[in-house]
Structure 1
Amino acid sequence: MNRHAEYQYLDLMSRLIERGDRRIDRTGVGTLANFGAMMRFDLSDGVFPVYTTKRVYWKTAVKEMLWFLSGQTNIRSLLTANVRIWSDWPLSRYRKETGEEITQESFEERIVADENFAIQWGDLGPVYGKQWRRWIDKDGREHDQIAGVIDTLRTDPSSRRMIFHAWNVGELENMALHPCHMVYQFYVSGLGSTAPKLSLMVTQRSSDHLLGNPFNICQQAALLAMVAQQTDLAPGELIWSGGDVHLYLNHLEQAKQQLTREPRPFPKLSFARKPASIDDYRIDDFIVEGYNPHPPIEAPVAV
């Protein structure tokens, strides 16, 4: 019997606890870190790698991916979709620049209620979606990397150039957070067969193993499924490559708790319809069946 794929994640967690390099990081919280890791998830037959040793709020993760694909950079649309995972960064900036010790709830309410306030305080700078969909070159021309990849998959699926990324050196300092999941590369196997498969490799420079990685794997698998549907290919493998993989020091007890749990079968993903384009997916299009995780494990976000 094959070992459950989630053990790749748990083994990395054990390695961080046992042999992680203790470091003071950008946030000041401190981490246990290792450099260089890889995980592979087979998405054949609709397998959706949402970790089961704690509940992962997969809808929130997928909503974030849909927000990336929209090209938006303001948290207002995320908040209207009940997604609060990006609020910490603009809230921190607001408190620092105004001196007002506003609560996160009140800040988010103002972002949603007041468009002008959202424009001033809710924008994250030229983060993921801006670079994926609206990269501006030196001549002022706009480049849609996602559309380019999908077009190449349809016209030249053996290409080695089916890549998009967000590490725009000239705009890094204007981003609320430098891109963590940086490079996405697609590959089609079985060309010429009756059932070619689409695989995706993601290179991630920095990975918060307890909180960030479960979301990243889920949403990257969702992206692979969407692009496969749009290009009439079957999903193949999601391959994840991590650079600085770390556990925050205030996540250690939560990690140890998670390691006591046995993985359960991954759920299955299907779509309610085939949208007209990659831009037309909605959260209601995602049908996830058979997700039966252990209870959630709460932990603070390091900003």
Structure 2
Amino acid sequence: MSAADQIFVDMCKDILENGCSTEGEKVRPVWPDGTSAYTIKQFGVVNRYDLSKEFPAITLRKTAIKSATDEMLWIWQKKSNNIQDLNSHVWDEWADESGSIGKAYGYQMGVKHQYKEGMFDQVDRVLYDLKHNPFSRRIMTNIYVHQDLHEMHLYPCAYSMTFNVTQKKGDDKLTLNGILNQRSQDILAANNWNVCQYAMLLHMLAQVNDMRVGEFVHVIADAHIYDRHIPLVKELITREQYPAPKVTLNPDIKDFYQFTTKDITVEDYVTGPQITDIPIAI
């Protein structure tokens, strides 16, 4: 069965059984009807996925792998903060009349910074280091920029990636690993969406650098299940689990900026029924 399913089920059980409730606290999120959106949460959840063994898409319900990747490419490749450059509607609630989400996400990835080797934005710096200095312990990105928070329509949730390259004994290729740091996550709506996004990013970066893909570690500071999601999660984690899908990339792509969702092939993805109309707290 899918390892991602078991990780997800174990995480949800732990939150439901051992988590802390925010009911009665002064919370920021509200439901569309204006009611306070309370959660049950766990602090400091750490999940590890071995991408060399399988792609970490859950099978309890379907994760739209290509749509998730499209959002990742919107941030990392297009470096855009405008939803008109995005093919899904996940950001509609936070966009202004022009489609902008402010100085958030892709905007921060596109800001150029001075390094001793020259001017780079954060994505190009990662690509440069993976090529020229792969064993560096400084290959990372950070989009939680305090001076710009007041101009962001939503503070970044997934805010930092740290890349680490290892050399396995006897292997002629290097292995690319990564850690995603996330300050907060809506487990039902976003957990596997984010996991699939950044697993795909690691696959893409590994391919264009002729590396193998290794571990993806997901660190969540505030992992929460919203009150109106609890019955949905309880039902979801009792479902039958299936083998992980086979996900491959077009092997001809050697430039990160050339990837599109058309270069992704998803095969044998058997899942339980989709949960529709998940209420989203804003």
TM-score (norm 2): 0.89
Distance 2:262 2:174 in 1: 27
Give 1:300's aligned residue. Answer: 279
Q: How far has the Cα of 1:3 moved from its partner?
A: 8.3
Once residues 3 and 51 of structure 2 are traced to their aligned partners in structure 1, the CA distance between those partners, rounded to angstroms, is: 13
TM-score with structure 1 setting the length: 0.83
- Once the two structures are superposed, the pairs formed by residues 192-207 of structure 1 within 5 Å of their partners are 193-207=171-185
Distance 1:3 1:267, change over 3 A: closer
* SS of match in other structure, 2:130: helix
Residues 176 and 201 (structure 1 numbering): CA distance in 2 closer, same or farther, change over 3 Å? same
Query: How much identity, in percent, do the aligned residues show?
Result: 31
1:36 to 41, 44, 47: 44
Give the one of 108, 126, 143 matched to 1:166: 143
CA shift, 1:191, in A, is 6.0
Which protein has the bigger helix share? 1
CA pair 142-74 structure 1, distance change in 2 beyond 3 A: farther
C-alpha deviation, 1:154, in angstroms: 1.2
The question of 1:280 aligning with 2:258 is answered yes
Q: Secondary structure at the residue paired with 1:10?
A: helix
Q: CA deviation at 1:142?
A: 6.6
In structure 2, how many angstroms separate the alpha carbons of the residues matched to 1:302 and 1:73? 21
Equivalent position of 1:146 in the other structure: 123
Structure 2 residue identity aligned to 1:22: S
1:1-303 correspondence runs (5 A)? 4-23=3-22, 24=25, 25-27=27-29, 28-44=36-52, 47-69=54-76, 70-78=78-86, 81=87, 83-90=88-95, 120-135=97-112, 143-190=120-167, 193-298=171-276, 299-303=278-282
The CA distance in 2 between the partners of 1:135 and 1:16, in whole Å, is: 40
* 3-state SS, counterpart of residue 239 of structure 1: strand
What is the CA deviation profile of residues 33-65 of structure 1, one whole-angstrom value per residue up to 9, with x for unaligned ones? 1101111111115x2111111111111101101
Query: 3-state SS of the aligned residue for 1:33?
Result: strand
Alignment coverage as a number of residue pairs: 267
What is the CA deviation profile of residues 142-200 of structure 1, one whole-angstrom value per residue up to 9, with x for unaligned ones?
A: 74111111111111111100101111110011111111111101111116731321111
Residue of structure 2 equivalent to 1:116: none
Structure 1 residue ranges, 4+ long, deviating more than 6 angstroms after superposition: none
State how far apart, in whole Å, the 1-side matches of 2:145 and 2:98 are: 22
**Is the partner of 1:205 in helix, strand or coil?**
strand
Cα deviation 1:120-140 (Å, max 9, x = unaligned): 431001111111222568xxx
Q: Partners of 1:166 and 1:142 in 2: how far apart?
A: 17
Q: Is the 8 A contact 1:48 1:268 kept in 2?
A: yes
TM superposition shift of 1:273: 3.9
What is the alpha-carbon distance in structure 1 between the residues aligned to residue 165 and residue 99 of structure 2?
39
CA contact (8 A) 1:134 1:142 kept: no
Q: For 1:212-251, what per-residue CA distance to the aligned partner results, in whole angstroms no more than 9, with x for missing partners?
A: 1111001010100010011110111111111000001110
CA distance in structure 2 between the partners assigned to 1:274 and 1:86 by the alignment: 31
Output the CA distance in 2 between the equivalents of 1:3 and 1:168. Answer: 36
Gaps in structure 2 of 5+ consecutive residues: 30-35
Per-residue Cα deviation, 1:86-115 (whole angstroms, up to 9, x for no partner):
01123xx6xxxxxxxxxxxxxxxxxxxxxx
Amino acid at match of 1:88: E
Q: What residue identity is the alignment partner of 2:172?
A: T
Specify whether residues 205 and 71 from structure 1 end up closer, same or farther in structure 2 by C-alpha distance, changes over 3 A only. Answer: same
Does the 8 A contact of 1:206 with 1:245 survive in 2?
Answer: yes
- C-alpha contact 2:2 2:59 (8 A) present in aligned 1: no
Alignment correspondent of 2:33: none
